[in-house]
A and B are shown apart, each in its own frame.
Chain A
Amino acid sequence: MIVCTNIYKEYRRGSYCKRVLNDVNLVVEPGDRIALLGRNGAGKSTLIKLIGGVEVPTSGKIRREMSVSWPLGFAGGFHGSLTGYDNARFIARIYRRDYSEMKGFIEDFSELGRQLRMPVKTYSSGMRARLAFALSLAIEFECYLIDEVIMVGDQSFNRKCHYELLEKRKDRTMILASHSTPLVQELCNKAVLIHDGQATNYEDVNAAVEQYSLL
């Protein structure tokens, strides 16, 4: 279970202060697939980063009672000048996984081949998404935080993700920030609509999508 209580997040630059999240409350039960909806800049990615512990809320508390992945997107989590293999090795070390086992899975899943020996900064965003997904699936989290990445892969990769994440790991929890309403309707059982710093929880995804398209 993940519980966010009274989350506020402000970004400050000199005297200018922008409040992105204003008293957000969210409870994620095991097995939930939550869609985060909202316009660009509404705070979807910010909320995902806070849940993932990448950034720290200005005030409020986040309690995590399951293993939560790092936010899967094309930025972050990698060191650009290291190769794909070196990044995998680093991640295996900090998550205490066996690298040789992980390596096979990553080669197999990402299909990046020789490119894994190249620095990650030479990768396209689709390739980064492949690597990020491969690593996070190799580690096996209880909850996956996904920030739009599904959309950057090509069709065959999307099919693969679909199978690995949504069929093989049906029981896992997922928080997905997305603009794609058909995808959200297909995958998710709950939705959160973020607008003007406020988050509204919806048990019915269709109602949330309808509200979202009115914004």
Chain B
Amino acid sequence: MNEVILRKFTVGWITQVRVIQALMIRELNTRFGRENIGFLWIMGEPLLFAGLVAIIWHFLHGETEHGIGITAFIVTGYIPITMFRHGVNRSVLAFSINSSILYHRQVKVLDFIIVRFLIEVVGGMMAFVFSAAVLMVFHEFPVPDDIGLFIMGWMIYAFFSFSLCLIIAPLSEMSDVLEKFVPVTTYVMIPFSGLFTLASWLTPEMRDYLLWSPFVTGMEMMRKGIWGEQITAYYYPWYTIGCSVVLTMIGLILCRRVRRTLTVE
């Protein structure tokens, strides 16, 4: 009996991996096309966003803040938030947009969210590496102190964003109103993402409030991983992971429920 279950699981796993690969290529094709730099556009958006905002801040706020290079600080803040915002925006109505692919039974609705989010994660990571490399040449970006901590932070941030996408996608199919609120909500989220300040720059009271936001942990870990001894960071990885696990559970249940009522043309 157990063997049968295991075999079923393996077959299902292999199928899903293959479907995700195929969907990924298809999504890259439809989104970025094969013209000019093609798939490299995957990092284009976060790069442009972070780069331009960093330049503006560079001129508005001077070169450093609390002894840290402002360009690097803004780049490290904006690339994760871009991943989150784009991921959430793209999961709105992701099921209906892709519904014609549901004609193929092995494609599951979950694959749509995974693929769309994965593209944002990979794009963000590439943009990160690229901009860090360029900034390092100009001595605007430090050599990362603890790359492991940085990657952990990025993954925790991504996990939490993904769990939100899992909820947004089915909810947007259930209610038309939600779609209107998503852009403004993700915009209002920006100050709560720990993007503009380190928790240690705040008053203790403010800090306690800010640390309730699961994003801040990821953000602080990434920055600690980059600046190391130069900064003090506050992070509670298990808190964010716990929140993400709970949201993922709710999201998976919602996805399953919505799949039952999904109308495919």
> Do A and B actually bind?
yes
Residues of A within 8 A of B (CB): 11-12, 49, 52-56, 58, 68, 70-71, 75-82, 86, 89-91, 93-96
Question: With A86-B29, A90-B26, A93-B21 given, is the CB distance from A52 to B103 under 8 Å?
Answer: yes
Closest to A87 in B: B26
Report whether B103 and A77 are in contact in the complex, using a CB–CB cutoff of 8 Å.
yes
| Smallest CB separation, A1 vs chain B (Å) | 17
**Interface flag for B25 (CB, 8 Å):** yes
13 residue pairs bridging A and B, Cβ less than 8 Å apart: A53-B105, A55-B262, A56-B260, A56-B262, A68-B105, A70-B105, A76-B100, A82-B30, A86-B29, A93-B21, A93-B22, A94-B106, A96-B18
Task: Give 15 new A-B contacts, CB below 8 A, not counting A12-B261, A70-B105, A76-B264.
Answer: A53-B105, A54-B105, A54-B264, A56-B260, A76-B265, A79-B26, A79-B30, A79-B100, A79-B101, A80-B100, A82-B30, A90-B22, A90-B25, A94-B104, A94-B107
A91 to B245, CA, bound (A): 33
Q: Which of B86-136 contact A (CB under 8 A)?
A: 100-107
Closest to A10 in B: B261
Closest to A93 in B: B22
Interface size of B by CB at 8 A reads 23
Report whether B100 and A77 are in contact in the complex, using a CB–CB cutoff of 8 Å.
yes
A75 to B118, CA, bound (A): 28
Closest to A78 in B: B100
Q: Inside 8 A of B107's CB, which chain A residues have their CB?
A: 94
Q: Inside 8 A of A11's CB, which chain B residues have their CB?
A: 263
A95 to B260, CA, bound (A): 24
| Smallest CB separation, A127 vs chain B (Å) | 16
Q: Inside 8 A of B25's CB, which chain A residues have their CB?
A: 89-90, 93
Q: Which of B51-103 contact A (CB under 8 A)?
A: 100-103
**Interface flag for B139 (CB, 8 Å):** no
| Smallest CB separation, B17 vs chain A (Å) | 11
Which of B21, B25, B103, B264 counts the most A-chain CB atoms under 10 A from its CB? B103
Q: Tell me the dominant secondary structure on chain B's binding face.
A: helix
The 3 closest A-B pairs by CB, nearest first: A93-B22, A53-B105, A77-B103
Q: Inside 8 A of B30's CB, which chain A residues have their CB?
A: 79, 81-82
- For A94, give its contact among B19, B29, B264, B265 (CB under 8 Å): B19
Q: Inside 8 A of A70's CB, which chain B residues have their CB?
A: 103-105
**Interface flag for B207 (CB, 8 Å):** no
| Smallest CB separation, B66 vs chain A (Å) | 48
Report whether B104 and A55 are in contact in the complex, using a CB–CB cutoff of 8 Å.
no
Report whether A56 and B263 are in contact in the complex, using a CB–CB cutoff of 8 Å.
no
A89 to B25, CA, bound (A): 10
A52 to B104, CA, bound (A): 8
| Smallest CB separation, B104 vs chain A (Å) | 6
Q: Inside 8 A of A71's CB, which chain B residues have their CB?
A: 103
A94 to B17, CA, bound (A): 10
| Smallest CB separation, B111 vs chain A (Å) | 10
A84 to B187, CA, bound (A): 39
Q: Inside 8 A of A52's CB, which chain B residues have their CB?
A: 103, 105
Q: Which of B238-265 contact A (CB under 8 A)?
A: 259-265
Q: Inside 8 A of B26's CB, which chain A residues have their CB?
A: 79, 82, 86, 90
- For A93, give its contact among B18, B29, B259 (CB under 8 Å): B18
| Smallest CB separation, A45 vs chain B (Å) | 10
Report whether B104 and A91 are in contact in the complex, using a CB–CB cutoff of 8 Å.
yes
Question: With A53-B105, A77-B100 given, is the CB distance from A58 to B260 under 8 Å?
Answer: yes
Q: Inside 8 A of A80's CB, which chain B residues have their CB?
A: 100
Closest to B14 in A: A96
Q: Inside 8 A of B18's CB, which chain A residues have their CB?
A: 93-94, 96
Q: Inside 8 A of A96's CB, which chain B residues have their CB?
A: 18
Closest to A91 in B: B104
A95 to B261, CA, bound (A): 26
Question: With A78-B100, A79-B30 given, is the CB distance from A55 to B105 under 8 Å?
Answer: no
Closest to A73 in B: B103
A186 to B147, CA, bound (A): 70
| Smallest CB separation, B209 vs chain A (Å) | 40
Which of B21, B26, B106, B262 counts the most A-chain CB atoms under 10 A from its CB? B26
